[in-house]
Amino acid sequence: MNRKIVILGTGGTIAGTAASSSDHTGYTAAQVGIAQLVGAVPALAGGPCDLVTEQVAQIDSKDMSFSVWARLAERVSHFLAQPEVQGIVVTHGTDTLEETAWLLHALLVPAKPVVLTCAMRPATALAPDGPQNLLDAVAVAAHPGARGVLAVCAGVIHGAPDVQKVHTYRLDAFSSGDAGPVGYVEEGRLRLMRNWPEAPVHKALAAIKKIVTQQDGSGWPRVDIVMNYAGAGASVVQALVASGVQGLVVAATGNGTLHQDLEAALLQAQAAGVRVVRATRCLEGRVLPRAGDLLADSQGLSPVKARVALMLELMANGS
């Protein structure tokens, strides 16, 4: 039985095209099919594993939706269960890659590698970065012992818990912050810096999976993100509560501080039954919990990942 690497396409800039090869911003994402992207990298042929491709979606990841997440989670789960599948690669836009990575990691807790990869330049660029990223991602997926959800971009391997897009234009657009990368891919070989990422073990994972993979996305609780800033007040929180939000993540300042007016509104929301979690708007570091805190902290997750975690938790609690 030949080992297989499955490559799932979801769109993004890696599959984007522009009218001019020098245009790196005025392109349309999600135009080229996954089979064609793989075919454009001859070095992928003749590797130790057979390659299987499947187009799961074809979107710009800024438009990521619960229904695409549902389909992707279902397909990743389906292929992970096949004994001959060694690992999975997912091509994805950079904009929401970290959210998808965290969702798949927390939901599927994969014992095999699931490697998200991307590009900052469209496929039609003079020097596109997608082909090398794809080649590197397959090298990670084929690596014996690799596990968990990972992101590979510009030769760097990031773990799902830490990866964050930190640059709007640079090819090396992602960072793992304080944690540092899991490793690097150099000429197809891996140089590992630390262990593969651990996933939180969620109670009621099977129930959550059932809700997530409902194709219409109807079972997802509504969780929104608000931010602390100079002059922040109660009005946004009050409007969200009035509109029926079930959870709120606040991107607090610094180590978790909130404007007193925003904090009062959040405490009121919490008293009314809305789940509130405090993350930080700082790119590095985390909320530092203190005895007597009235609002939960995000346990080191960024605001967008804390939102995904809270949605999963609300699903587990049946709301």
Which residues form the interface with ligand ASP (CB under 6 A)?
12-13, 29, 60-62, 93-95, 118, 120
Contact 15, 58 (CB under 8 A): yes
CA 23 to chain centre: 26
| Among 185, 99, 96, CA closest to 134 | 185
Nearer to ligand ASP, 12 or 128 (CB): 12
Question: Nearest distance from residue 173's CB to ligand ASP, in Å?
Answer: 8
Q: Which residue has the tokens 């998808």?
A: 100
The angle formed by the CA atoms of residues 275, 203 and 5, to the nearest 5 degrees, is: 110
Give me the least distance between CB of 67 and ligand ASP, in Å please: 16
Q: 169 burial class (0-12, 13-18, 19+ CB within 10 angstroms)?
A: exposed
The long-range contacts involving 282-289, CB below 8 angstroms and separated by at least 24 positions, are 282/253, 282/254, 283/164, 283/166, 283/175, 283/177, 284/177, 284/178, 285/177, 285/178, 285/255, 286/255, 287/252, 287/255, 287/256, 288/255, 288/256, 289/256
**Closest to ligand ASP by CB, 79 or 174:** 174
The active-site residue out of 13, 91, 124, 280 is 13
Query: Which one, 117 or 253, has the nearer CB to ligand ASP?
Result: 117
Q: By C-beta, is 120 or 199 nearer to ligand ASP?
A: 120
63 vs 74, beta carbon nearer ligand ASP: 63
The residue number with the shortest CB distance to ligand ASP is 93
Residues 6+ apart with CB under 8 A from 200: 106, 309
CB of 165 to ligand ASP, least distance (A): 8
Residue 29 or 250 with smaller CB distance to ligand ASP: 29
The CA distances from residue 242 to 221, 226, 235, 237, 317, in Å, are: 15, 15, 10, 9, 22
CB of 24 to ligand ASP, least distance (A): 10
Q: C-beta of 177: minimal distance to ligand ASP in Å? A: 20
Report in angstroms how near the CB of residue 80 gets to ligand ASP at its nearest.
24
Establish whether 13 is a catalytic residue: yes
Residue 144 φ/ψ, nearest 5 degrees: -60, 130
Strand order in the sheet with 189-192: 50-59, 4-11, 85-91, 113-117, 148-153, 156-159, 183-186, 189-192
**Which residues are catalytic, by number?**
13
